[in-house]
Amino acid sequence: MKWTPGSVSEDVEDRRGGGGGFRGGPVSIGVVLVLLVLSLLTGKNFLSLVDSGSAPAGDASAEQPGAPVQSSPEEDKLVQFVSFVLDDAQHTWQQILPGYRKAKLVLFRDATATACGMGETASGPFYCPGDEKVYLDLGFFDELRTRFGASGDFAEAYVITHEIGHHVQRLRGIEGQVRQLQQSRPSQANALSVRLELQADCYAGVWGHSTAQRNILEQGDVESALNAAASIGDDRIQRMSGRATHPESFTHGSSEERVTWFKRGLDSGDPNACDTFGGGT
């Protein structure tokens, strides 16, 4: 991608120094036990996330200062790239979606508190509708490259803009409707999750379309994003884990489905073309 390293986005919240832990009043014994187990298993002090600061009780996602961030020049550049993609994607959605409200992106290491519960590196990047924030451990990009074989700027951008796609679903009311359906129809919970994830892939493609229109893509960018989409399909992940493929257990969609819907957004640039709930695959 054509981009110039620069400043860090005002919508990036950096907790890599340890900030953003639990604040405000006593923490439940269950949370403490989980943190203790994580500490024993990893050798890292997850109990440091518990803080008795002065924020209102229950405000688990409130921002708080942490220790100084230890960051390499390479990681600094990656933070600037994440900032570029985040700002560019949100500017694009401001043009497409009237009344678009910006999400925040939280950088963290190991674990952090969110309005959706404990966020951990092992979960991969995720969006929390409770606080409208995307959570990202930069180490995931290493895993994307080494474990899944998906490298390149645009592959990393796809991951970020997929999560912003979930924010778009939140703003459009789609996420809330799907969660209600999952509660009322538990037997369809996985299938509905797949539709939600595929739509976020398509929304990532909508942003990709805008980058092509503005001529900031370089040769191989689209291929790297398609490879990333294919690499993290449920079927491929199950096979990589040595398991048989079980479509009924999918939550994100097969490699083919993820590529298909990303390309649909990429080709059309139209979020209305991303009706994964009524448009089939």
More confident residue, 66 or 179: 179
Q: Is residue 147 part of a domain?
A: yes
111 φ/ψ angles, rounded to the nearest 5 degrees = -160, 155
59 occurs within a structural domain: no
Residue of higher predicted confidence among 56 and 247: 247
**160, part of any domain:** yes
Between 45 and 267, the more confident residue is 267
Q: What is the pLDDT of residue 242?
A: 58
Between strands 12-14 and 104-107, the pairing is parallel
Exposed e or buried b per residue across 229-256, where buried means at least 16 C-beta atoms within 10 angstroms of its C-beta:
bbbbbbbbbbeeeeeeeeeeebebbbbe
Each residue's pLDDT tens digit, 89-124: 999 999 999 999 999 999 999 999 999 999 988 888
Domain annotation covers residue 245: yes
Q: Among residues of the chain, what percentage have pLDDT more than 70?
A: 72
Residue at 24 is within a domain: no
Q: pLDDT confidence of 278, banded at 50, 70, 90?
A: confident
Q: What predicted TM-score, i.e. pTM, was given to this entire model?
A: 0.79
**Which ranges constitute the DSSP H helices of the chain?**
29-42, 73-96, 139-146, 153-171, 174-184, 189-213, 221-231, 234-240, 255-268
Are 102 and 89 in contact by the 8 Å Cβ rule? The answer is no
77: pLDDT strictly greater than 80? yes
Closest alpha carbon to 198 in 241, 172, 232 = 232
Residue 36's pLDDT is what?
58
Domain containing residue 79 = 72-273
pLDDT tens, residue by residue, 252-272: 778 888 889 999 999 999 999
Residue 7 has pLDDT above 90, yes or no: no
Q: Which two tokens stand for residue 166?
A: 């979930």
In-domain check, residue 113: yes
In a domain, residue 94? The reply is yes
Residues contacting residue 6 through CB under 8 Å, at least 6 positions apart: 80, 83, 84
Q: Is residue 142 assigned to a domain?
A: yes
For residue 59, pLDDT over 50 is answered with no
Evaluate if residue 11 carries a pLDDT over 70: yes
The residues, ordered by sequence, that sit 6+ positions from 98 with a Cβ below 8 Å of its Cβ are none
| Structural domains of the chain, count | 1
What per-residue confidence (pLDDT) applies to 56?
38
* pLDDT tens per residue, range 202-246: 999 999 999 999 999 888 888 888 777 776 665 444 554 555 555
* More confidently predicted of 33 and 201: 201
**Chain mean pLDDT for the chain:** 80
pLDDT band at 152 (very low <50, low <70, confident <90, very high): confident
